[in-house]
């Protein structure tokens, strides 16, 4: 067991865990922030996507020991982020979600996309969202909502 | 199993239902409609004992004006958490902005009024509960009106209702919340007037989901997110071949992981496994990885996809148990060989892989237990937990948790996940334990859409239409090992294996369908749209091939071949024809059109797709869907179900869209080996059009799935000249 100092959603947090524990399980089980989801554990579905130092990152394969000083942002902080809020609002107004389990990760990927590419093309969307599985298959509405959020942020 | 919508809107209390009304403990009005089991569930039981009903409720008018409506089913994406309350709130004239939906726990009162148990299945949620929720809303409204009328000393017919307010003569008005306590003292009306559909305020409108915001900000708690004081997490090591047993266990390394509480062998539905209980999930998983288990796999069949394929193809050459025998069996022989074709199709096992891995939490307190699960099958899961714990079902409080998808995977007749969880909870009496299936457990854990082989011989008439059709279907029965066998297995044929072929709406005069159901040591299960997944693929690709052979337009050919009374399919085809015409007739070079139509779960669906080949994969640029579902309760939900449901259906076409077995072992482990569609694989745009129809609603959860894959390969056939009869689509 080791103690790690993390910055999660702007707050300093301290956890004592095995160094190999993935950030995902630190968030979910140590910090009780369950908005970040477990889907596969091998970075193949994107349900666990967080922003690590501003980069969309699969938290299920990042050991807590490698997080270092990079700030961690999760879905729980997105309502406070102007782009995050716009994406969430677009998701709600476009009735994107079905089961909703993957949508934390979808939104986290979409926010990073819109921060780097304010007016994304379909190809940009396919590239940035390409690793986020939605088993319900809500992809058509995800595309529409990203474009609507982009419009909103102009 | 259709719900008849009474034309006179005059409702009589069903002789086997009655109402229970009480003042709510927290104030306000509670209305519950208690139904006895339908006749089918009572066979052989001439005088059922009177039931003791639990104090549950469907509607709670709270003093603060909020109206809490219980949803008698699991919400896992399909939208019943919004659309069932819409139906009730509409008849009740409730203020929709004040409605709160809750998922009801397991209880008799929440059983599906047609099936007689609590379930999401057969796309029946709206179809079976439309009338039920209308009646509940109408009765609640009538009692609120009666309370107001009494206060004002006027007749109820002098009052009208809107947005949770009763309006009376002379400008009098009262809010539902103010009337609730008096309303609870009113007798339950035996007869209530249901609205004329023209008066609907919510039904038929595009109403947004009630659960969107908490699903977008991370606050919604799924079953896997449950956190109870003192809770432990368990994982189970399952045998590498279904039914295998632990021969020897060395758990020293596992027990040495800090935070591990218990390691012990448990019986599974088939075979045995090893449970690891720890403070946290990650600890439990690390410890499981350190178990040294020697398995006894000698007494179980080692299924092998290659061998099964050969065996099934051999079986398909002989007729099976007869599902349909229409017309003249010898008609085929009269058709010249040049006008006959024999084709063979093969479909692999498919996993459901819902995004939220399977899980169940149970706390066993000796004389009672509490369980939390995202279950499609509350009645059976509650009974299974009770059985393992030596309790009666009513001693198990079963909470329905929001679930991250399911597609059939959370409706398992043997309740194997709940049984595992109960075995573990039994050992850790007093401690809540959350059992988590990892993604690997899920992909390798069985309960797949069964593998199938179809062999079809078709004799084509002079007019280019099929004149004789012999169809043999080979695949494991899903139903035979379930309590539904008596209902759904007839003449040795599992109806769910032949649905979509045996009941085809095409007019084929000499038609013979039979089925073989070999027994294989691989658990199988309904996978969204069940038998329609493979039957629609076979039928719709063959019909397309026949149309091509007859040099006919694929829509015109289908219209000609469809029975005159297939109204829903005709109307869906016509609307699809109209809506797809603008793009269909001017496709870019390298693109092709694919058509399909199929009716399932009472809903007729027609589909047109624009497909090209990119990187040796089908690229689906556009899909136009038309459907006839009867009354469209929430057109927005239906649009979403179809837009996304066709993406789900693309699973069948994925290059890695197969579960295969070698020497009894599943060859895929996770999403890297069994890969459902990502955004790049799914249709880019889907427009959905609903045929206006005032008939009772039919299903919308499963009907999107069957149409997409045949439509896509019908387009591919035009581009490549090949016919695709073996899935997954490994090469285009």
pLDDT tens for B539-584 read 999 999 999 999 999 999 999 999 999 999 999 999 999 999 999 9
Question: pLDDT band at residue A154, thresholds of 50, 70 and 90?
Answer: confident
Could you tell me how far CA B651 lies from the centroid of its own chain?
16
Closest CA to B438 of B417, B453, B456: B417
Find the CB nearest A99 among B283, B403, B679. Answer: B403
Could you tell me how far CA B542 lies from the centroid of its own chain?
27
DSSP 3-state assignment of B681?
coil
pLDDT at B36 over 60: no
The mean pLDDT value for A23-45 works out to 98
Of the ranges B48-52, B116-120, B704-708, which is most confident?
B704-708
Give the per-residue pLDDT at B46. Answer: 44
Question: Are residues B273 and B236 in contact, defined by beta-carbon separation less than 8 angstroms?
Answer: yes
Q: Which residue, of B190, B216, B242, is where some domain finishes? A: B216
Residue B2 lies in a domain: no
Q: Which residue, of B216, B237, B252, is where some domain finishes? A: B216
**Beta strands at B369-373 and B396-400: parallel, antiparallel or unpaired:** parallel
The mean pLDDT value for B88-104 works out to 97
* Average pLDDT value over all residues in chain B: 92
Query: Using the beta-carbon criterion (under 8 Å), do A98 and B79 form an inter-chain contact?
Result: yes
Distance (Å, whole) CA B115 – CA B28: 31
Q: In B, which residues are within 8 Å of A129 by CB distance?
A: 679
Distance (Å, whole) CA A143 – CA A110: 10
* Average pLDDT value over all residues in chain A: 98
Find the CB nearest B215 among A1, A44, A100. Answer: A100
Angle at B112 between CA B110 and CA B116, to 5 degrees: 105
Peptide bond into A21 cis (omega under 30): no
Q: pLDDT, tens digit, for every residue of A52-73?
A: 999 999 999 999 999 999 999 9
Question: Are residues A76 and A122 in contact, defined by beta-carbon separation less than 8 angstroms?
Answer: no
Task: For residue B24, give the CATH number of its domain.
Answer: 3.30.365.10
Q: What is the DSSP string of B6-36?
A: -TT-EEE--TTEEEEEEE-TTSSEEEEEEEP
In degrees rounded to 5, what are phi and psi of residue A72?
-105, 125
Query: Using the beta-carbon criterion (under 8 Å), do A136 and B644 form an inter-chain contact?
Result: yes
Question: pLDDT band at residue B1, thresholds of 50, 70 and 90?
Answer: very low
Q: pLDDT, tens digit, for every residue of B418-439?
A: 999 999 999 999 999 999 999 9
Q: pLDDT, tens digit, for every residue of B215-248?
A: 999 999 999 999 999 999 999 999 999 999 999 9
Residue of A nearest to B403 (CA): A99
Q: pLDDT, tens digit, for every residue of B672-694?
A: 999 999 999 999 999 999 999 99
Is the CB of B216 inside 8 Å of chain A's CB atoms?
yes
Q: Which CA distances in Å does A56 have to A98, B11, B215, B286, B679?
A: 23, 56, 19, 26, 17
Percent of chain B with pLDDT over 70: 92
Query: Using the beta-carbon criterion (under 8 Å), do B282 and A25 form an inter-chain contact?
Result: yes
Question: Are residues A99 and B612 in contact, defined by beta-carbon separation less than 8 angstroms?
Answer: no
Q: Are B531 and B642 members of one domain?
A: yes
Question: pLDDT band at residue B655, thresholds of 50, 70 and 90?
Answer: very high
Q: In B, which residues are within 8 Å of A28 by CB distance?
A: 225, 281
Distance (Å, whole) CA B18 – CA B554: 52
Find the CB nearest B222 among A96, A101, A141. Answer: A101
**Beta strands at A49-52 and B17-23: parallel, antiparallel or unpaired:** unpaired
pLDDT at B53 over 60: no
Residue B471 lies in a domain: yes
Query: Using the beta-carbon criterion (under 8 Å), do B679 and A125 form an inter-chain contact?
Result: yes
Residue B304 lies in a domain: no
Q: Who has greater pLDDT, B513 or B31?
A: B513
Residue ranges of chain A that CATH labels 3.10.20.30: 2-74
Q: Which residue, of B201, B216, B231, is where some domain finishes? A: B216
Is the CB of B638 inside 8 Å of chain A's CB atoms?
no
Q: At what angle do helices B635-649 and A139-152 cross, to 10 degrees?
A: 120
Find the CB nearest B212 among A25, A33, A92. Answer: A92
Q: Are B90 and B130 members of one domain?
A: yes
Q: How many CA atoms lie within 13 A of B74 on its CB side?
A: 35
pLDDT at A11 over 60: yes
Domain count, chain B: 3
Query: Using the beta-carbon criterion (under 8 Å), do A139 and B218 form an inter-chain contact?
Result: no
Taking only Cα atoms into account, the Rg of chain A, rounded to an integer number of angstroms, comes to 15
Percent of chain B with pLDDT over 90: 89
Query: Using the beta-carbon criterion (under 8 Å), do A95 and B208 form an inter-chain contact?
Result: yes
Q: In B, which residues are within 8 Å of A15 by CB distance?
A: none
Q: Are B65 and B193 members of one domain?
A: yes
pLDDT at B328 over 90: yes
Residue B178 lies in a domain: yes
Query: Using the beta-carbon criterion (under 8 Å), do B684 and A132 form an inter-chain contact?
Result: no
Find the CB nearest B217 among A88, A125, A138. Answer: A88
CATH class (in words) of the domain with range A2-74 = alpha beta
- Backbone φ/ψ region at B685: left (φ over 0), alpha (ψ -120 to 50), beta: beta
Query: Using the beta-carbon criterion (under 8 Å), do A99 and B77 form an inter-chain contact?
Result: yes
pTM score: 0.94
CATH superfamily of A77-152: [2Fe-2S]-binding domain (1.10.150.120)
pLDDT at B50 over 50: no
Give the per-residue pLDDT at B599. Answer: 98
Q: In A, which residues are within 8 Å of B686 by CB distance?
A: 140
pLDDT at B4 over 70: no
Residue of B nearest to A31 (CA): B227
Is the CB of B354 inside 8 Å of chain A's CB atoms?
yes
Query: Using the beta-carbon criterion (under 8 Å), do A38 and B357 form an inter-chain contact?
Result: yes
Question: pLDDT band at residue B354, thresholds of 50, 70 and 90?
Answer: very high
Taking only Cα atoms into account, the Rg of chain B, rounded to an integer number of angstroms, comes to 27
Question: pLDDT band at residue B188, thresholds of 50, 70 and 90?
Answer: confident
pLDDT at B38 over 50: no
Q: pLDDT, tens digit, for every residue of B133-156?
A: 999 999 999 999 999 999 999 999
Residue B732 lies in a domain: no
Residue B443 lies in a domain: no
Q: Are B180 and B239 members of one domain?
A: no
Query: Using the beta-carbon criterion (under 8 Å), do B648 and A78 form an inter-chain contact?
Result: no
Q: Are B173 and B252 members of one domain?
A: no
> Considering only A3-17, B20-34, B246-260, B576-590, which range has the smallest mean pLDDT?
B20-34
Q: Are B164 and B100 members of one domain?
A: yes
Find the CB nearest B227 among A32, A42, A131. Answer: A32
Find the CB nearest B439 among A40, A75, A137. Answer: A40
Query: Using the beta-carbon criterion (under 8 Å), do B76 and A99 form an inter-chain contact?
Result: yes
Is the CB of B229 inside 8 Å of chain A's CB atoms?
no
Find the CB nearest A140 among B213, B217, B686. Answer: B686
Q: Are B427 and B567 members of one domain?
A: no
Query: Domain containing B292: what range?
Result: 223-299+358-436
Question: pLDDT band at residue B27, thresholds of 50, 70 and 90?
Answer: low
Residue B730 lies in a domain: no
Give the per-residue pLDDT at B57. Answer: 72
Question: pLDDT band at residue B5, thresholds of 50, 70 and 90?
Answer: very low
Probe site for chain A from B86, B125, B207, B215 (most A CB atoms < 10 A): B215
Give the per-residue pLDDT at B41. Answer: 37
Query: Using the beta-carbon criterion (under 8 Å), do A18 and B282 form an inter-chain contact?
Result: yes
Q: How many CA atoms lie within 13 A of A21 on its CB side?
A: 25
Q: In A, which residues are within 8 Å of B258 by CB distance?
A: 1, 18
Q: In B, which residues are within 8 Å of A141 by CB distance?
A: 640, 643-644
């Amino acid at each position: 067991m080791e103690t790690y100092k993390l910055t999660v959603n702007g707050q300093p947090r301290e956890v004592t865990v095995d160094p190999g524990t993935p950030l995902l399980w630190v968030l979910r089980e140590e910090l009780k922030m369950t908005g970040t989801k477990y889907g596969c554990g091998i970075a193949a579905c994107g349900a666990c996507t967080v922003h690590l130092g501003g980069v969309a990152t699969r938290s299920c394969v990042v050991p807590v020991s490698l997080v270092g000083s990079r700030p961690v942002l999760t879905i729980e902080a997105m309502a406070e982020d102007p782009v995050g809020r716009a994406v969430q609002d677009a998701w709600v107004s476009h009735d994107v979600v079905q089961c909703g389990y993957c949508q934390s990760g979808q939104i986290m990927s979409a926010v990073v996309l819109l921060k780097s590419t304010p007016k994304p093309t379909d190809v940009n969307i396919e590239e940035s969202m390409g690793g986020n599985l939605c088993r319900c298959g809500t992809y058509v509405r995800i595309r529409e909502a990203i474009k609507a959020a982009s419009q909103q942020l102009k | 199993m259709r719900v008849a919508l009474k034309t006179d809107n005059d409702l009589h209390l069903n002789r086997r239902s009655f109402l229970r009304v009480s003042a709510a403990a927290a104030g306000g009005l509670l209305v519950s409609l208690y139904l006895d089991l339908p006749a089918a569930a009572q066979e052989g039981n001439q005088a059922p004992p009177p039931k003791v009903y639990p104090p549950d409720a469907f509607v709670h008018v709270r003093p603060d004006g909020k109206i809490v409506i219980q949803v008698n089913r699991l919400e896992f994406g399909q939208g019943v958490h919004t659309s069932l309350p819409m139906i009730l709130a509409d008849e009740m004239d409730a203020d929709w902005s004040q409605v709160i939906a809750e998922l009801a726990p397991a209880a008799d009162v929440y059983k599906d009024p047609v099936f007689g148990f609590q379930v999401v299945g057969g796309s029946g949620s709206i179809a079976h509960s439309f009338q039920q929720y209308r009646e509940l809303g109408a009765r609640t409204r009538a009692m609120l009106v009666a309370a107001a009328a009494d206060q004002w000393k006027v007749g109820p017919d002098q009052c009208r209702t809107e947005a949770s307010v009763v309006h009376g003569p002379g400008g009098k008005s009262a809010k539902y919340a103010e009337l609730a306590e008096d309303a609870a003292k009113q007798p339950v009306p035996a007869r209530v007037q249901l609205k004329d559909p023209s008066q609907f305020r919510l039904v038929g409108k595009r109403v947004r989901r009630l659960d969107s915001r908490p699903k977008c900000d991370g606050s919604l708690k799924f079953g896997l997110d449950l956190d109870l004081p003192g809770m432990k997490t368990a994982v189970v090591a399952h045998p590498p071949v279904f039914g295998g047993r632990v021969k020897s266990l060395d758990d020293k390394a596992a027990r040495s992981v800090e935070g591990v509480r218990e390691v012990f062998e448990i019986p599974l539905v088939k075979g045995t496994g090893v449970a690891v209980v720890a403070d946290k999930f990650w600890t439990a998983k690390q410890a499981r990885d350190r178990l040294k288990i020697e398995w006894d796999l000698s007494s179980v069949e080692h299924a092998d996809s290659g061998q099964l394929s050969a065996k099934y193809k051999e079986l398909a050459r002989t007729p099976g148990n007869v599902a349909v025998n229409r017309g003249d069996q010898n008609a085929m022989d009269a058709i010249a060989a040049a006008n006959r074709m024999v084709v063979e199709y093969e479909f692999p096992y498919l996993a459901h892989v819902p995004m939220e891995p399977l899980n169940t939490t149970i706390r066993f307190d000796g004389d009672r237990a509490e369980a939390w699960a995202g279950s499609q099958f509350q009645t059976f899961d509650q009974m299974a937990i009770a059985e393992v714990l030596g309790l009666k079902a009513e001693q198990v409080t079963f909470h329905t948790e929001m679930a991250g998808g399911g597609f059939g995977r959370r409706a398992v007749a043997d309740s194997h996940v709940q049984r595992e969880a109960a075995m573990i909870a039994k050992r850790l009496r007093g401690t809540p334990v959350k059992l988590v299936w990892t993604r690997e457990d899920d992909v390798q854990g069985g309960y797949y859409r069964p593998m199938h082989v179809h062999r079809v011989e078709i004799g084509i008439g002079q007019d280019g239409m099929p004149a004789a059709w012999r169809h043999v279907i080979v695949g494991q029965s899903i139903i035979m090992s379930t309590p539904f066998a008596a209902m759904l297995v007839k003449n040795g044929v599992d109806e769910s294996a032949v649905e979509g072929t045996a009941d085809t709406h095409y007019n084929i005069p000499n038609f013979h369908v039979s089925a073989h159901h070999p027994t294989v040591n691989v658990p199988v299960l309904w996978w969204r749209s069940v038998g329609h997944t493979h039957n629609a693929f076979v039928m719709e690709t063959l019909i397309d091939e026949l149309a091509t052979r007859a040099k006919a337009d694929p829509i015109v050919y289908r219209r000609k071949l469809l029975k005159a009374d297939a109204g829903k399919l005709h109307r869906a085809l016509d609307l699809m024809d109209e809506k797809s015409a603008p793009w269909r007739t001017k496709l870019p070079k390298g693109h092709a059109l694919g058509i399909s139509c199929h009716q399932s779960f009472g809903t007729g669906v027609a589909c047109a797709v624009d497909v090209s080949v990119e990187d040796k994969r089908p690229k689906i640029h556009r899909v136009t869907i038309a459907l006839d579902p009867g009354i469209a309760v929430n057109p927005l939900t239906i649009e979403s179900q179809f837009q996304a449901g066709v993406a789900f259906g693309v699973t069948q076409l994925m290059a890695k869209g197969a579960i295969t077995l070698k020497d009894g072992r599943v060859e895929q482990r996770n999403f890297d080996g069994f890969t459902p569609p990502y955004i790049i694989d799914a249709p880019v745009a889907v427009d959905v059009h609903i045929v206006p129809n005032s008939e009772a609603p039919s299903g919308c959860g499963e009907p999107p799935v069957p149409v997409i894959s045949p439509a896509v390969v019908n387009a591919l056939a035009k581009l490549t000249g090949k016919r695709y009869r073996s899935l997954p689509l490994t090469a285009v």
